[in-house]
Amino acid sequence: MNESIYKYFDVGIVSFMAYPSIIKGDSDDLVSTIRKIAVDDYFSAIELTWIKDDQKRKQVADMIRSSHLKPCYGAQPRLLTTGMNPNDLEEAKRQAAEQTLLEAIDEAEELGCGGIAFLSGKWEEKTKDQAYDQLMKTTLNLCAYAKKKNMLVELEVFDYDIAKKALIGPASYAAKFAADVREQTDNFGLLIDLSHIPMTYETNEYVVRTLRPYLTHFHIGNTVVSSPEDEGYGDEHQRFGFPNSSNDVNQVLDFLRVLKNEGFFKEENPYVLSFEVKPWQAEDPELVIANAKRVLNRAWALL
């Protein structure tokens, strides 16, 4: 593409994946870590998560306003680091998961975010329908609360049998769920991640076309799924080019082509397109981020 990517997307980064030390919301280096991203003008968006200290949260909110970044809020760590499940069959446990997500909406509002993203919990085949109903209950309650604040609720689509083993799920099932939610509220969308598509045995084109009416947010990253014996197998979001991994320049290029063909290049209201990459073991986060920038730059140049 001869035109700048920033004409069509807010390019972001999932801060708590790139810098795993901040994922639990209580690290000493949280503010300084967010600042590294805020001063990097490659990024026009940033994805934050919970910040447990009120003063640090205020510092980050001030920093985001000063830097003109578009903030987004990923509530996934509130579930993944605690084991909470928004489709838990035990009602008290489902309500606990809902409560932390309601708190996430309040925190997202403090940080200037337009909504939150979360994920479904684990499931078992024999109780899949009951889990679906529980997730629907949680999601509609979140949407009702968020709507009072003019905010959006997004559900991220994950794998169903490799790593997260989430209820939502392959694209067809995600589309069914999104359609059922949208029948009752309009402030709901789906978030898809390039790194999850190989994990659901689908193609970029199939996922985007199937979920097209509901897509509101995009991630790009990498995964290793060729063999359970391979290093880093599963949902680890390794750098592009990692041994035996699924995604690199050509796959990012294909993803961008599909988004373009399906009408997601929105000049007047750009979607967020964020890197979700994570250092493997002792890798340097800033090198992994530089890797991701080079891959996106090359893919965009080839588009």
Type of residue found at 110:
E
C-beta separation of 122 from 167 below 8 A: yes
May I ask the CATH architecture of the domain 5-302?
Alpha-Beta Barrel (3.20)
CA distances from 128 to 92, 135, 136, 139, 174 (A): 18, 10, 12, 16, 13
d(CA 240, CA 277): 8
What confidence score (pLDDT) does residue 1 get? 87
**pLDDT band at residue 68 using 50, 70 and 90 as cut-offs:** very high
Reduced to 3 states (helix: H, G, I; strand: E, B; else coil), residue 139 is helix
Averaged pLDDT, 117-145: 96
pLDDT in tens, 156-209: 999 999 999 999 989 999 999 999 999 999 999 999 999 999 999 999 999 999
pLDDT in tens, 290-299: 999 999 999 9
Kindly report the CA angle at 125 between 133 and 140, in degrees rounded to 5? 15
For residue 12, pLDDT over 90 is answered with yes
Chain mean pLDDT for the chain: 97
What confidence score (pLDDT) does residue 89 get? 97
d(CA 282, CA 254): 30
C-beta separation of 252 from 302 below 8 A: no
CA distances from 132 to 64, 151, 157, 210 (A): 36, 23, 14, 19
What confidence score (pLDDT) does residue 122 get? 93
d(CA 137, CA 147): 15
What confidence score (pLDDT) does residue 169 get? 86
Averaged pLDDT, 124-149: 97
Hey, how many other C-beta atoms are within 10 angstroms of the C-beta on 4? 9
Structure tokens at 267: 């000049």
- Domain coordinates of the chain in residue numbers? 5-302
Averaged pLDDT, 242-270: 97
For residue 90, pLDDT over 90 is answered with yes
d(CA 76, CA 191): 12
C-beta separation of 213 from 160 below 8 A: no
134 alpha carbon, distance to own chain's centre:
22
Asked if residue 114 has a cis previous peptide bond (ω within 30° of 0), the answer is: no
Structure tokens at 251: 């796959």
Question: Quick one: DSSP state of residue 114?
Answer: S
Q: Hey, CA dihedral for 2, 256, 270, 292, is it positive or negative?
A: negative
Enclosing H/E stretch for 115:
strand 115-119
